[in-house]
Amino acid sequence: MALLELKNVSHIYHSPEGETWALKDVNFTVEEREFVSIVGPSGCGKSTILAILAGLLTPSEGDVTIGGKPLTEAKGTTALMPQRDQLFEWRSIMRNVLLGPEIQKNKSPEIVTYAKTLLEKYGLSEFTSKRPSELSGGMRQRAALIRTLVTSPKLLLLDEPFSALDFQTRLQVCDDVSDILRQENKTAILVTHDINEAISMSDKVIVLTERPASVKKLYSIDLDKNLPPLKRREQKSFAVYFRRIWKDLEVHNE
C-alpha cells in the first residue's frame, strides 16, 4: 500500500467573480521513503496540492488517503516547510525548533531530547541559543527543516523552500536537505519551478498541466541515490531527463 494516494482530486476556488478550477482529476501515489517533486507552469495549482495535503484546504472532489486512512483521519501525519524559513527572531534556534510541540502542547522530555539530537547531528548544536539573524541562510534552512522533523511527520511537504536563497547556497542546501531526509528515512513532496532541482533530488517527478492542473506525465528518476544532488547533475542520464521534462513544459515558456 502506498503511503499517500490521490484519487480524482479536484479543487475549485470561489470568489464574487465566480469559480476558478485549480485542480481537475489529479491522480498519483507516493511510496514510503520516496522523494517526489512536482513541477508545472506558474499558477497551475502545485501549491494547492500541498495545501490540501497539509489540511489547509479541503478538496472539492476526490479522495486523499495517507497510510490507507482518509486525510481527515490522519491529522498530524504531514508537516509543511514553506518558501521562507519563518524562524522567529525573538526566539532562540532551540525555541524555534520546539515551536510545533509547544503549539501541540506536546513538549515532552523525549521530544526535547530528539530536537537536541537532530541539532547536534546536523551541525547546529553550538547555535541552539543563537537568534536566527546570527545564522547563515543555509543554517537557517537546516533549522527550519529540523523544526519540521521534530514532530515526526510521516510526510514532509516542501513548498519551494530554497527559492529565497542565492544560487550557491541553494545548491548546498539541496544537498543538505536531501542528505537529512534520506538519513531520517522520511517521505517528502517538493514543489519547485527548478527542473534541475526536481531531477537531482527526486525518486519521481510529476509534471502537471496548465490550470486546472492534472498529471501530464510521471518520471521515475534512475540516478545514483548514493550521490548528493549536485553530483547527480553530472550523470549522463540527468541531461536526458532534463530535456524530456523541459519538452513537456516548453509550450508554456514560449
Q: What is the 3-state secondary structure (H, E, C) of the chain?
A: CCCEEEEEEEEEEEECCEEEEEEEEEEEEECCCCEEEEECCCCCCHHHHHHHHCCCCCCCEEEEEECCEEHHHCCCCEEEECCCCCCCCCCCHHHHHCHHHHHCCCCCHHHHHHHHHHHHHCCCHHHCCCCHHHCCHHHHHHHHHHHHHCCCCCEEEEECCCCCCCHHHHHHHHHHHHHHHHHCCCEEEEECCCHHHHHHHCCEEEEECCCCECEEEEEECCCCCCCCHHHHCCCHHHHHHHHHHHHHHHHHHC
49-107 tens-digit pLDDT: 999 999 999 999 999 999 999 988 887 789 998 878 889 999 999 999 999 888 888 88
Which of 121-125, 173-177, 206-210 is predicted most confidently?
206-210
Mean pLDDT of all residues in 19-33: 95
Predicted local distance difference test score (pLDDT) of residue 32: 95
Predicted local distance difference test score (pLDDT) of residue 83: 79
Predicted local distance difference test score (pLDDT) of residue 251: 54
Predicted local distance difference test score (pLDDT) of residue 165: 82
Predicted local distance difference test score (pLDDT) of residue 253: 44
Predicted local distance difference test score (pLDDT) of residue 114: 93
Q: How does residue 120 score in pLDDT terms, banded at 50, 70 and 90? A: very high
Q: What is the mean pLDDT of the chain?
A: 91
Which of these CATH numbers, 3.40.710.10, 3.40.50.970, 3.40.50.720, 3.40.50.300, describes 1-77+154-162+169-254? 3.40.50.300
Predicted local distance difference test score (pLDDT) of residue 201: 96
Does the pLDDT at position 231 exceed 60? yes
126-151 tens-digit pLDDT: 999 999 999 998 899 899 999 999 98
Residue ranges of domains in the chain: 1-77+154-162+169-254, 85-152
Predicted local distance difference test score (pLDDT) of residue 15: 82
Does the pLDDT at position 183 exceed 50? yes
Does the pLDDT at position 175 exceed 80? yes
